[in-house]
Chains A and B, each alone.
Chain A
Amino acid sequence: MSKKLKVATTSLAGCFGCHMSLLDIDERLFDLLELIEFDRSPLTDIKHCGPCDVGLVEGGLCNAENVHVLREFRKNCKILVAVGACAVTGGLPAQRNHLSLADCLQEVYVTEISLEHGGIPNDPELPLPLDKVHPLHEVVKVDYFLPGCPPSADTIWKFLTDLLAGRTPSLGPELIRYD
């Protein structure tokens, strides 16, 4: 391949477990790095992504900043991939979706007695939480989904090698896991 593909990665309302799983492809990382170079990613510490071929997004959307980052990815990445249970379904953070956000904030910052100086934080520097947590495809168009908590290293490897070779990614039942 003449030119390396540019890949950006980020974790929104996630736990970085999916990034750990990416690193878990172990020595295949060297093969991978022959084919790609990273743009914005926790691995590079680049803060904003430029035009990329592939964006790998871990985690769902739980606040305004998540939405801004996701939109930046969508705008810059030709192919956007939702990686992991949280990006695909909302995942663990979405377990708050049957509760009222106001009740949550009240309980944590006002009612909870261990906070010495109670009060709901209102610093403009802080991103506001959305009333519900959403998977990525409810806010932007997502091209591929990679379920799993996290998707296994083999799943990620198979997916990426298919994608980089220009094949439509095709995972068998052994690689499609939701847990």
Chain B
Amino acid sequence: MTETFQLDGEDVPFAPGQSVLQAALSAGRYIPHLCYHPEFKPHGSCKVCTVKANGRTAASCTLPAQAGLNVESETGEMNDLRRTLVQMLFAEGNHFCPSCEKSGNCTLQALGSDLGVMTAGFRHFYPDRPVDASHPDFLLDFNRCILCELCVRASCEVDNKCVFALSGRGLTKHLIVNAASGKLADTDVALTDKAVSVCPVGVILKKRVGFAVPIGQRRYDQRPISEQALDDAPRPSTASGACAACEGTS
């Protein structure tokens, strides 16, 4: 007999080792999420997937599914929280959607629109984050970075290159690249790297292909993210879950 937990009053089956979010998505149930990616080990940093489980809040991407757990997700309280978290991300970076070529295909934007975010609400931080256009094939626009570490994880766990890493802490935490010059052009990043295709926002952009898809036909012009995320339900991971280079064992 498959074990189940309750998600908003309905039974959701789960496999051993699955988190609440993974089990929910596998069962065709959507919980808003941002830094989670089905091909990577759950990270738990954005906290957008927070749910209430047996009365306590927890990030559902890292919360182990357990039989009998009573999970509340589609509630006003949880969606208010998610809205605020998305607003915080909008206020923290420089998210100028009208000029961003990721617009329409951006996860942050799609989440905001789906959750009904009308404004960042908070005072904008307007950080100074210079763009790195050094590489012939890629542009790095740090203004839009939400620090989800997907590129870090992909580069380490899948590409085995560690092109990306994080430095600083707190509000000064920022993305860096693996080069003494600090420039992407001096790294061994390649067009075939997983890391360059996982950015949910408009930080890592391939040059010369922007705005190819007209407005109206972009990914989230078609259907809101809540209807599309299930297409991304968990599938076999290509990531090792650990970085040989970073552990110093390679």
- Compute how far the CA of A89 lies from the CA of B120 in the bound complex, rounded to whole angstroms: 7
- Compute how far the CA of A141 lies from the CA of B78 in the bound complex, rounded to whole angstroms: 26
Binding site for A on B (CB under 8 A): 90, 94-100, 103-104, 109-110, 112-114, 116-121, 123-124, 126-129, 215, 224-225
Which chain B residue shows the least CB distance to A17? B98
- Please name all residues of chain B whose beta carbon is closer than 8 Å to the beta carbon of A135 when the two chains form the complex: 119-120, 124
Contact A176 B117 (CB under 8 A): yes
Contact A85 B97 (CB under 8 A): yes
Which chain A residue shows the least CB distance to B100? A179
Interface 1/0 per residue, A161-179 and B, CB below 8 Å? 0000000000111101111
Contact B104 A179 (CB under 8 A): yes
Which chain B residue shows the least CB distance to A146? B118
- Compute how far the CA of A46 lies from the CA of B225 in the bound complex, rounded to whole angstroms: 44
Contact A177 B118 (CB under 8 A): no
Tell me if A95 is interfacial: C-beta within 8 Å of chain B.
Answer: yes
- Please name all residues of chain A whose beta carbon is closer than 8 Å to the beta carbon of B225 when the two chains form the complex: 173
Can you give 28 A-B contacts (C-beta < 8 A)? Answer: A88-B120, A89-B95, A89-B120, A89-B124, A91-B96, A91-B98, A92-B99, A94-B96, A94-B126, A97-B94, A98-B94, A135-B120, A135-B124, A137-B119, A137-B121, A138-B124, A145-B119, A147-B118, A147-B119, A171-B118, A173-B224, A176-B118, A178-B112, A178-B113, A179-B98, A179-B103, A179-B104, A179-B215
Interface centre among B94, B116, B124, B225 (most CB of A within 10 A): B124
The 10 closest A-B pairs by CB, nearest first: A149-B98, A178-B97, A145-B119, A145-B118, A173-B224, A98-B128, A97-B126, A179-B103, A176-B113, A179-B97
Question: Could you tell me how many residues of chain A have their Cβ less than 8 Å away from some Cβ of chain B?
Answer: 30
- Please name all residues of chain B whose beta carbon is closer than 8 Å to the beta carbon of A157 when the two chains form the complex: none
- 11 additional A-B pairs beyond A88-B120, A91-B96, A97-B126, beta carbons within 8 Å, are A85-B98, A94-B126, A142-B119, A171-B118, A173-B116, A173-B225, A174-B224, A178-B112, A179-B98, A179-B100, A179-B215
Task: From the candidates B96, B127, B215, name the one contacting A89 in the complex (CB within 8 A).
Answer: B96
Contact A95 B96 (CB under 8 A): yes
Contact B113 A177 (CB under 8 A): yes
Which chain B residue shows the least CB distance to A149? B98
Tell me if A82 is interfacial: C-beta within 8 Å of chain B.
Answer: yes
Contact B119 A176 (CB under 8 A): no
Interface residues of A in 91-137 (CB under 8 A from B): 91-92, 94-95, 97-98, 132, 134-135, 137
Task: From the candidates A88, A98, A134, name the one contacting B119 in the complex (CB within 8 A).
Answer: A88
Contact B126 A132 (CB under 8 A): yes
A176 in contact with B116 given A85-B98, A97-B126, A137-B121 (CB within 8 Å): yes
Task: From the candidates B95, B100, B114, name the one contacting A173 in the complex (CB within 8 A).
Answer: B114
For the complex formed, measure the closest distance between the CB of B140 and the CB atoms of chain A, giving whole angstroms: 16
Tell me if A144 is interfacial: C-beta within 8 Å of chain B.
Answer: yes
Tell me if A59 is interfacial: C-beta within 8 Å of chain B.
Answer: no
For the complex formed, measure the closest distance between the CB of B114 and the CB atoms of chain A, giving whole angstroms: 5
- Please name all residues of chain A whose beta carbon is closer than 8 Å to the beta carbon of B128 when the two chains form the complex: 98
Contact A176 B112 (CB under 8 A): yes
Tell me if A14 is interfacial: C-beta within 8 Å of chain B.
Answer: no
